[in-house]
Chain A
Amino acid sequence: MAWRDARQNKSKLALFTSSIILGIASLVAINSFKFSLQKDIDAQAKELLGADLLIRGNHEISDSLNMVLDSLNGERAYEKSFSSMVFFPKNGGTRLVNVRALKGDFPFYGIIETNPPEAAQSFTDSKSILADQTLMLQYEAFSSDVAKLGNAEFEIEGQLIQAPGQSGIAATVAPPVYMPLEYLEETGLEKRGSRIQYLHYFRFEEGRDIEEILETLDPYIESEGLRIDTVEERKEDLGRNFNNLAGFLNLVGFFALLLGSVGVASSVHIYIKEKLNSVAVLRCMGLKGFQAFLIFFIQILGMGFIGSLIGAILGSLVQLYLPLAVKDFLPFEATFQFSLAAFIQGLFAGLVITTMFSLIPLAGVRNISPLKTIRADYDGNKLNSDPLTWLILSLIIVAVFLFGYWQMNELLDAFVFSGFVVGSFLVLGLISYLSIWSIKRFFPSGWSYVARQGLANLYRPNNQTLILVLSIGLGTALISTLFFIQSLLVNQVTLSGKGERPNMILFDIQSDQIDDIVKSTDDFGLPIMQQVPVVTIRLKEINGKSKLELEKDSVDEENEIPDWIFDREYRVTYRDTLIDSESDWKGTWGDKKYASGLVPISIEKDYAERMNVEMGDTLTFNVQGAIMKAEVAHLRSVDWNRVQSNFLVVFPSGVLEEAPQFHVLMTKAETPQKSADYQRWLVSEFPNISAIDITLILNTVDEILSKVAFVIRFMAFFSIATGLIVLIGSVILSKLQKIKESVLLRTLGASRNKILKINLLEYFFLGNLSALTGIALSILGSWTISYFSFEMDFTPDYTPVVYIYFTIVFLTVLIGQANNRTILNNPPLEILRKEAA
């Protein structure tokens, strides 16, 4: 019976199936992408680090630590890494590069990929270098050409294509150049003030307990201010880098499935509504309520399975095309394979939502009375009093929560999201009841017949107000939340202040060089846009407690201070005023002059939150050997997207002036020629100073960001397409009734124009009610999500939402009018006959 009935209803069942297909395709594509990414990170983590263990710091390690390291019996390699300018005598080209002076067989895992391939080994045998391929392309350099680093000339052994842990973005700022360590002294670049990283790589025999080694090394690492990287940590770091992207993808997956679910519920509702009379007839013939339920349940489950299968296949195919879009911004090779786990999960999720969300409309089938064949009962918008419906509703809420937890792996997130969905549902229901009530109560009797009809259709028996506002409103809320979050994420990484931003940054300027540089820059006709002193310091204690003491004290994860707060080096500046990119958050900067005692410092507000410090807390710093106690006297908000030297910690004037420091200077060269001339002069006069022409970097960053945005939009597309199916389904829901009404009005003499206007107004009211409520909900939802889940300030771009509003209202009206097309273009009798058939 289920099959026989389904044969005649292919198009209606297709609507239902398409919402499942799109929802599941979106979920499978997103989860496959995530799984592939995780798999690649896991598989390549060793190659990304190139070793089992890396110890790094900005100074040489002590002899005692060196002896301990030797005693570990691992294979060792050593690298000194720093930024400097490279000079190509052939054509006078200069560029900031990341010099990596190597000794030993690094990398132990993975390879340095070069052209020719043997160059990766042979460059260490002579006074030669490996230069990044884009650098060589930019300066038309070839193998065997000469490149100058500081005072020494090197032969280029080959092009560097890929090295362990190297990402496209980092290489854009300072392309890597590998050289043998033994020639570093000859360059003269290794002198006081140079910011050199000292890296010690280790490989241990298979199965060696890294944790045990870490325990041995811990005291030295702590006291010497070093950092340790392990393969496990590198995996976590990589994962963290993609946190927001992954968080957003989880959200898209969650919403896609929810939209699919709304699609299922509304299309099954349409389907069942059309079947009421057939069921009543079957019941007259002795069909039991449960049997009637089973007929449709089997149909829906069958179609749900087919839809989920097609969706899972489509989703798997789609994600195979993603590597093309993402390969440039991932620091490892992305492979993207078919993910069986994502496929099965998608199939399972499809069947679960089909079952759950079709049960509400289907539950009513059990109660269809055979009496309906002879007397159709009037039923308005009464809430279903069937206890089974309430049981199913409760199960759905639990299912939404469980799905949220499964997709996002965070209890709080799952609570927030499922709360948002349930809350939206209630608010939308309430809004539609209130609208129906207030239209009835304050009905504008003075309006024209057409306007009154359009408005009255919202509350008349069998009206679609509740179901349309629920489905269109929830769809709108989900889609505009996606747009809000997407624009927040994109804004977070977009550079602001395009007009007067500097395009060249000079750093590593020593104090005795700054006056000459300022004067010469001025002589070149370039403006000094910013000049800041930078002092490198480390954090020792927060409120008199060291890292170890705080770790012991912390009772819950919430208050735990991340390791890197103590492990990192802070580059701080000193001044008594705020710059353009900063504003007061708490307190006023510059009103307290330092005299003695605790040094009043300013901290960036988000950073203070992560450090768990507030106004009045004390911080103890190690300023290159000297211990200094400071008090948090000011919190600042900083626009990190401005091209400026921004700082987490700012000291007042009169404290750090005598500390070892370097200077950063920002200027702007109007033409590429002027920029090249200036850099050439700089590298010849001050070889230790690094300069970056950020025009190129800004362009590349823009390009990479647009690729990230593409992936985000690509994934969001599926959710939006599912939302449209929901919209179409919701409007088609009212088709049967609309046809009958319009034909009768036509028979009684209503013109095409009048029927068009009545319908237009009705759908215009509905579109507005749904879109506005949905958008209002999404603003609330996006704020909650950005605050709790992404930990960002909610400063959204409202433009896309304006488009969403117009699109939803336009589509609702358009699809509503499409319902009437056949009625308006054909004689009434023809349609009455067709409908009767």
Chain B
Amino acid sequence: MSNILSVRNLTKKYTSGNKELIVLNDVSFEVEAGESLAIVGPSGSGKTTLLGLCAGLDRASEGNIFLKENDLKLLTEDQRASVRNEFVGFIFQNFQLLPTLSAIENIMVPMELRGIKNAQSKAVELLSRVGLENRADHYPVQLSGGEQQRISLARAFANEPDILFADEPTGNLDADTGEKVEKLIFDLNKEKGTTLVLVTHDMELAEKTDRIIRLKAGQLVNQYQTAVAS
């Protein structure tokens, strides 16, 4: 299988005043197409930063990231935006739905940005796939956390992305709802044949992926195949 994501000697530094803070230090790994991968580690270990860099939301200080053979370092912000729109889906811990758009409009955004004609009917399909067809015209503030995350999931799959990045997708949800959302993520992932990269504290969730990468103080300390993969 070919690699959909390659991370090579990745370093990310932040400067605050005169101080330099190294958040990620010389991290390298590969992700194959169709694989599911969990990034775990204690708070402040650089998990979310790594996810953001892999998804092209930020620039690396050193090293390279290849997403679908695109060297993200060489791309402008607009080119990275178009890579995201074409290949990437996102799920955030705090859902990040556009507060001024209704549920269906939120799902339509990636498709409309891409110029897909039948965006609305596809959005309706996705809404019913996540079980929220009766919430189409509700605004985010009118939805519960679980509902918002399901809309966010439908939005993430709207463009049929090659790779899905999920940042603590169940972190803000209660156990029951979290479980339902988890199931939906994995079901949709399988159904659409998408690669999944997720950041989590929840080892139980991480163990459901094919492989786990463990970060500590910005360094990749180990990685291993899970029982799912074997």
Query: What residues of chain A have their CB less than 8 Å away from a CB belonging to chain B?
Result: 375-378, 449, 457, 460-463, 737, 740-741, 744-754, 824-825, 827-830, 832
Contacts and interface: CB of A to CB of B under 8 A. Distances in A.
Nearest to B109: A748
A745 B96 contact: no
Contacts of A830: 58
B80 to A, nearest CB: 8
B98 A828 contact: no
B86 interface: yes
Interface string B84-123: 1110101000001011110000000110111100000000
Contact of A741 (B58, B88, B100): B100
Contacts of A378: 139, 141-142
A237 to B, nearest CB: 63
Contacts of B52: 829
A627 to B, nearest CB: 82
17 contacts: A461-B100, A737-B99, A737-B100, A741-B99, A745-B98, A747-B84, A748-B84, A748-B85, A748-B90, A748-B110, A749-B81, A749-B82, A749-B84, A752-B77, A752-B81, A828-B58, A829-B52
A461 B99 contact: yes
A754 B109 CA distance: 12
Given A749-B110, A827-B58, A827-B59, A744 B96 contact: yes
Q: Which DSSP category, helix, strand, loop or mixed, fits chain A's interface?
A: helix
B130 interface: no
B57 interface: yes
Interface of B: 49, 52-53, 57-59, 77-78, 81-86, 88, 90, 96, 98-101, 109-110, 112-115, 139, 141-142, 155, 159
Interface-central residue, B57, B82, B139, by most chain A CB under 10 Å = B57
Contacts of B85: 748-750
A457 B101 CA distance: 9
Contacts of B101: 460
Contacts of A375: 141
A521 B74 CA distance: 88
Interface-central residue, B77, B81, B84, by most chain A CB under 10 Å = B81
A378 B81 CA distance: 30
Contacts of B109: 745, 748
Interface-central residue, A741, A827, A830, by most chain B CB under 10 Å = A827
| Smallest CB-CB A-B distances: 3 pairs | A749-B85, A829-B58, A460-B100
Contacts of B142: 378
A750 B57 contact: no
B98 A449 contact: no
Contact of B57 (A460, A741, A827): A827
B99 A462 contact: yes
B113 A750 contact: yes
A567 to B, nearest CB: 71
Contact of B113 (A461, A462, A748, A827): A748
Contact of A747 (B49, B83, B96, B159): B96
Given A460-B100, A461-B139, A741-B98, A752 B113 contact: no
A600 to B, nearest CB: 73
A751 B78 contact: yes
Contact of A449 (B84, B113, B159): B113
Contact of B100 (A463, A752, A828): A463
A289 B159 CA distance: 47
A449 B110 contact: no
Nearest to B100: A460
B81 A751 contact: yes
Contacts of B96: 744, 747
Contacts of B115: 449
Contacts of A461: 99-100, 139, 141
A293 B53 CA distance: 43
